[in-house]
Amino acid sequence: MVGIERVPDPTILNPRDAIVRITRTAICGSDLHLYDGYIPTMEPGDILGHEFMGEVVETGSEVRKIKKGDRVIVPFTISCGECFFCKNQLWSACDNTNPNAWMCEKMYGFTAAALFGYSHMLGGYAGGQAQFARVPFADVGCLQIPEGLEDEKVLFLTDIFPTGYMAAENCDLKGGEVVAIWGCGPVGQFTIRSAFMLGAERVIAIDRFRERLKMARAAGAEVINYEEVDDLIEELKWVTGGRGPDACIDAVGMEAHGTGLMAAYDYSKQRIRAAFDRPLVLREAIQACRKGGVVSIPGVYGGMLDKLPFGASFNKGLVLKMGQTHMQRYTEPLLRRIQNGEIDPSFVITHRLALDEAPAAYKTFRDKQDECIKVVLDPWAEPAAA
Ligand code: NAD
Ligand code: ZN
């Protein structure tokens, strides 16, 4: 359950912290996995939110690059900037930011970087669907935004734009490829546009919501409503001359929707907590991909995936790439693309609300009501009169 509560303002705890007064924040598809209870180690009172930006109001004594008054975006991964992984641009694998590393180590062998507002297993840090946030390792975690770019244009540098971009980059496009993308949510939308930026000749976007398919089409994608085709794999073969897409991107993740026997199997396992994930889309992406192609997975998965066609993946010689986005690799280059006018990320926003309206907004976004694609929240606005 999501609610609004008054909590104490965050304070500087470590010399490399900064406190940010948040001017805009958003709800992400990843928050829905928390909302629906599929990510373990959440606790009552946890503050959600990992897409936020604002003004620095206080810095610790060892913060060097950013200063009070700077306008910054704050990427969702928390990285130290100094470990082996950060030095190798593997920012979401940072070794130093998760105080609860042992929880992850038990499940995954090693810990990933901590994330804002995303379970105790991933650090237990308070998130940014709030008026203020504490940003650890602030010099690494904050990127200063130049004058003249309004919040809505740069807010999605905190997550979904880099995520879509990395998903497309992972396909190793050389130019001229056919890329199929499952999911036309916010992540899917940025993946579509990034695939074109990186040279894809055709993008085939798959979803079932008309408004999301329409937004995909506006970017130049061909679209398939998966509820309107008998056999999606056959359809993808058909539209690629029998060869299959060169790259298949799963921008859906653990809460894939579906019907039929396999879907029923996934839903029931998830319901009785015998599995975290419903890997319907990933199965399709592996099955549909051409031999020697790439399956790129920005969609989030949490546990042991059942009935995955690993044999197909092996015998077709597929490359599988995935992961939480290595944010700091992309924030500056993508900021430049926004400044150059190559893309205005605010195209994806359908709902602008006050933070106080977040509980209802979570439901609207989760259930895809009111043609909702992306919600942006203003922590200081009065809620609109009901
Ligand atoms: P969203 O819920 O708005 O969008 C998901 C879309 O997938 C919906 O439009 C839905 O209709 C569609 N979908 C569901 N089942 C489908 C199916 N069988 N075939 C095709 N489409 C289907 O969420 P979002 O914000 O776009 O996020 C998408 C995924 O990306 C989530 O899993 C989220 O957690 C993940 N994500 C990952 C990262 C990362 O760092 N890797 C960052 C942000 C989000
Ligand atoms: Zn997110």
- Report the pocket of ligand 1 as residue ranges, CB < 6 Å: 28-30, 32-33, 159-160, 163, 182-188, 206-209, 212, 226, 251-253, 256-258, 280-281, 298-300, 324-325
Asked if residue 205 lies in contact with residue 188, where contact means CB atoms within 8 angstroms, the answer is yes
For tokens 């895809």, what's the residue?
Answer: 368
Q: How confident is the model at residue 385 (pLDDT cuts 50, 70, 90)?
A: low
How far apart (Å, rounded) are the C-alpha atoms in residues 45 and 241? 53
- When pLDDT is averaged across residues 9-15 and rounded to a whole number, the result is 98
pLDDT tens string 117-132: 999 999 999 999 999 9
DSSP string, 176-193: S-EEEEE--SHHHHHHHH
Give 315's Cβ-side CA count (13 Å radius): 5
Instruction: List CB contacts of 271: < 8 A, sequence separation 6 or more.
Output: none
Q: Which residues surround ligand 2, an ion (CB under 5 A)?
A: 28, 30, 159
Closest residue by CA, ligand 1 atom 9: 185
Q: How confident is the model at residue 384 (pLDDT cuts 50, 70, 90)?
A: confident
How far apart (Å, rounded) are the C-alpha atoms in residues 114 and 92? 8
Closest residue by CA, ligand 1 atom 44: 30
Return the percentage of the chain with pLDDT > 90, whole number.
97
Query: In whole angstroms, how far apart are CA 135 and each of 195, 253, 259, 377, 385?
Result: 31, 28, 42, 19, 33
What's 309-329 look like in SS3?
A: CHHHHHHCCCEEEECCCCHHH
Backbone dihedral region for residue 25 (phi beyond 0: left; psi -120 to 50: alpha; all else: beta): beta
Secondary structure letter of residue 279 according to DSSP:
T
Backbone dihedral region for residue 15 (phi beyond 0: left; psi -120 to 50: alpha; all else: beta): alpha
pLDDT tens string 339-350: 999 999 999 999
Asked if residue 182 lies in contact with residue 285, where contact means CB atoms within 8 angstroms, the answer is yes
pLDDT beyond 90 at 386: no
**By mean pLDDT, which of 86-95, 208-217, 268-277, 329-338 is the weakest?**
268-277
Q: What is the number of the ligand closest to the CA of 188?
A: 1
pTM of the predicted protein model? 0.98
Q: What is the number of the ligand closest to the CA of 299?
A: 1
Q: How confident is the model at residue 383 (pLDDT cuts 50, 70, 90)?
A: confident
Atom of ligand 1 nearest to the CA of 184: 9
pLDDT tens string 17-67: 999 999 999 999 999 999 999 998 999 999 999 999 999 999 999 999 999
pLDDT of 358 reads 97
Helix ranges restricted to H, 136-279: 138-141, 151-154, 160-169, 186-197, 210-218, 232-238, 261-271
Six token digits for residue 303: 């546990």
Atom of ligand 1 nearest to the CA of 366: 2
Cα 38 to ligand 1 centre (Å): 14
Q: What is the number of the ligand closest to the CA of 216?
A: 1
Atom of ligand 1 nearest to the CA of 232: 19
Backbone dihedral region for residue 244 (phi beyond 0: left; psi -120 to 50: alpha; all else: beta): left
Cα 84 to ligand 2 centre (Å): 24
pLDDT tens string 77-123: 999 999 999 999 999 999 999 999 999 999 999 999 999 999 999 99
Cα 116 to ligand 2 centre (Å): 10
- When pLDDT is averaged across residues 180-188 and rounded to a whole number, the result is 98
The overall longest dimension of the chain from CA atoms, in Å, is 62
Q: What is the mean pLDDT of the chain?
A: 97
Closest residue by CA, ligand 1 atom 40: 324
